[in-house]
Chains A and B, each alone.
Chain A
């Protein structure tokens, strides 16, 4: 008898804990009891799937998906591309990747954002795409600006793009943020600092990828995303995956 393979347990030593007082909002929003560890059942190994009927081809182009005809958003034109992989280094194909970000001035198109930098009439700030059969994805956008936020009196977020990924099972669901190589705000950001592992922080910093630029058009950054890995199909009489 076969059973579907389970996901590897999450390595909590590289993930931010719930309670991180340097990021003040987490204090009242963090559970205090231990989570109950749950071995995967059918509810965990399965998850929603998406197809090309769900989204449109231009949804991954933030330079055009909200701009008026013939106009473009202001800012540094970038390509953000990479692969979604699992911990076994296998590509995760046909999975939904959604992003959102501030405009080049550090302002979000959101009714709750009141920062004094202006809204860009040609920039919505969100995009989505499905990875291809090799787990590859790309977006065109502008590089977001840094912005101040209320935590300590004078905290600034490094330039970042929020990234949401599904994977193949609901327990692979992940939201993270993509930072940009060379930004001096990264090491002093209280939200970055919720991550307890230096290498795990490095893994969230997209690297300049000169080979992927479009000369005289757009600069490129490479950002790979790793989701939890999965055992091969388990057999009742074998304890290990193969």
Chain B
């Protein structure tokens, strides 16, 4: 028998379940326990760049909005730097670039405010168009789903983006591009995520 490789195996994922809020957003579960809940402030007070609002729903295969979904967002700052030692450069003091948002229990709508990220370096050469990275968990989702949101007003950058261009079915690229409107003085991007069906959102095996 050949030698064994000494690698461990990744722990298996299990659904976050309907009561994920207790652990990750206890205020929404109906009680107050921590000094501060994490993920409410994505940018901190010193972030430069265009402030924006992002909103949407996660929609199931029956066409119904998911009312117990939790999303996490991970993004670069306006200069295209992630708040990480390998993130491409410095970020503003207090900028974390990570947020956590839950849907409304009655409507399934979710929204958050942040700054529009800049272009980031590509894996090999070139740059990636501005985008938000999403990770989605809920009851009935066995393993967190990864996707990206791109910006509808970045047509030139989107056309050159190496990840969007990986998607062989060109019409499916549109599922990742959020439409811009104005609401309450803020540019607002609408990103509805379809889990199934004709317009199923593109998800990534990262």
Given contacts A28-B62, A59-B34, contact A15 B13 (CB under 8 A): yes
| Docked complex Cα distance between A232 and B163 (Å) | 24
Whether the pair B166, A170 counts as a contact (CB closer than 8 A) is: no
The minimal Cβ–Cβ distance linking A96 to chain B, given in whole angstroms, is 8
Interface range on chain A: under 10, 10 to 19, 20 to 34, or 35 or more? 35 or more
CA–CA, A192 to B142, complex, Å? Answer: 10
* A46 touching B24, Cβ below 8 Å: no
Question: Residues 43-72 of chain A: 1 if any B CB is under 8 Å from the residue's CB, otherwise 0?
Answer: 111111110001110010000011000000
Closest 4 CB pairs of A and B: A100-B23, A25-B140, A48-B98, A46-B84
Contact B140 A28, beta carbon cutoff 8 Å: yes
Q: Within the assembled complex, what's the spacing in Å between the Cα atoms of A18 and B138?
A: 12
CB within 8 Å of B: which of A96-124?
96, 98-101, 108-113, 124
B158 to chain A, nearest CB (A): 15
Cβ contact within 8 Å between A99 and B23: yes
A175 at the binding interface (Cβ < 8 Å)? yes
The answer to whether A86 touches B141 (Cβ under 8 A) is no
Contact B33 A35 (CB under 8 A): no
Give A143 to B78 CA distance when docked, in angstroms.
46
What is the distance, in angstroms, from A140's C-beta to the closest C-beta of chain B? 15
Given that A48-B74, A164-B23 are contacting pairs, would A225 and B9 also be in contact in the complex, using a CB cutoff of 8 Å? no
Contact yes or no, B13 A176, CB < 8 A:
yes
- By the criterion CB–CB under 8 Å, are B8 and A41 in contact? no
Nearest CB in chain B: distance from A112 CB, A: 6
Bound complex: CA of A165 vs CA of B62, how far in Å?
A: 31
